[in-house]
Amino acid sequence: MAGDGTWTVYLSGEIHSDWRERIAAGVREAGLPVELVAPVTDHAASDDVGAEILGEEEEGFWRDHKGAGVNAVRTQTLLRRADIVVVRFGEQYKQWNAAFEAGYAAAIGIPVITLHDPELTHPLKEVDRAAMAVAETPEQVVEILRYATS
């Protein structure tokens, strides 16, 4: 927590649904002492940022590598400074970065909350096992944050 009692919550994972907005709305309505932080969620901006700032690359691997590095400057810091990490897994895409960040957070002792549909239970069992709570809806996450920060 910051000195004024604000909790920093890092919202990791899926960027193609409105789960962050729903958590933000819930936090706002409930007036929780929570600051939400997140990776850049504009997919194209995130993919292109390395090439755009540091120069275009011919090979896709290095283009991705550059972009992932610039994103990591942001996410590694947000992750290490967070009080709680919420990790969202959706139906689409591999989302290995979400699982990677869950592992990183678990290793340094930051409580993890996962957020996903029950259909993903089996493949997420190791990640869920390391989490303190497994939610199915953003509203449940808001309730956990309300309880944690009450």
Q: How far is the CB of 29 from a copy of itself (least distance, A)?
A: 16
Return the number of the residue (25 or 83) whose C-beta is nearest a copy of itself. 83
The angle subtended at Cα 130 by Cα 86 and Cα 125, nearest 5°, is 95
Which parts of 6-45 interact with a copy of itself (CB under 8 A)? 6-8, 35, 40
Shortest CB 4 distance to a copy of itself, Å: 6
List the alpha helices (DSSP H) in the chain: 19-30, 43-54, 60-81, 96-107, 125-130, 138-149
Instruction: Give the separation between CA 61 and CA 46, rounded to whole angstroms.
Output: 15
Minimum CB distance to a copy of itself, residue 31 (Å):
17
Residues 66-125 that bind a copy of itself (CB under 8 A): 66-74, 76-77, 80-81, 83-84, 89, 93-109, 111, 113, 118, 120-125
